[in-house]
């Protein structure tokens, strides 16, 4: 079946890089997404990558996709306290549905 897994918690110091990892099972996924959720808010789209790409960079964000291992990562360079949030990985299956992971809580310490 379709499944997306993430580690639940990551703690980093301000200024360090953060790497949030995600694995998925559906090899027919077309797009993979990263969403950010701040306390009390909805999900904010951060970035996405098409399945035929292996990397995408957008300012401080770098997405790496290893399609062979079904592994997706989000790297945040120069992490700031404002980056503290829950980060969700999601895959879009070939049925069009979005399958979400359970979210990784990123804690940024000053």
Partner 1 sequence: ETGVTQTPRHLVMGMTNKKSLKCEQHLGHNAMYWYKQSAKKPLELMFVYNFKEQTENNSVPSRFSPECPNSSHLFLHLHTLQPEDSALYLCASSQWAGVEETQYFGPGTRLLVL
Binding site for partner 1 (CB under 8 A): 4, 31, 33, 35, 40-45, 48, 50, 88, 92, 96-103
Question: Which residues, including other chains, have CB under 8 Å from residue 89's CB and lie 6 or more apart?
Answer: 4, 6, 20, 22, 24, 32, 33, 34, 72, 74, 100, 101, 104
Q: How far apart are CA 49 and CA 65, in angstroms?
A: 8
Q: CB of residue 100 vs partner 1: minimum separation in angstroms?
A: 4
Q: CB of residue 81 vs partner 1: minimum separation in angstroms?
A: 21
Measured CA to CA in angstroms, residue 69 lies from 24, 27, 65 at distances of: 9, 9, 9
| Closer of 30 and 57 to partner 1 (Cβ) | 30
| Closer of 14 and 25 to partner 1 (Cβ) | 25
Q: CB of residue 88 vs partner 1: minimum separation in angstroms?
A: 7
| Closer of 97 and 109 to partner 1 (Cβ) | 97
Q: What are phi and psi of 81, to 5 degrees?
A: -60, -30
| Closer of 47 and 73 to partner 1 (Cβ) | 47
């Amino acid at each position: 079946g379709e499944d997306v897994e993430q580690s639940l918690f990551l703690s980093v110091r301000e200024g360090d890089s953060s790497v949030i990892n995600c694995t998925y099972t559906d090899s027919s996924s077309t797009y993979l997404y990263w969403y950010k959720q701040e306390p009390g808010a909805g999900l904010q789209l951060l970035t996405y990558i098409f399945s035929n790409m292996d990397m995408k960079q957008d300012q401080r964000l770098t997405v790496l996709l290893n399609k062979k291992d079904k592994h997706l990562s989000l790297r945040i360079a120069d992490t700031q306290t404002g980056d503290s949030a829950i980060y969700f990985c999601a895959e879009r299956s070939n049925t069009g549905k979005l399958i979400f992971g359970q979210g990784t809580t990123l804690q940024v310490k000053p």
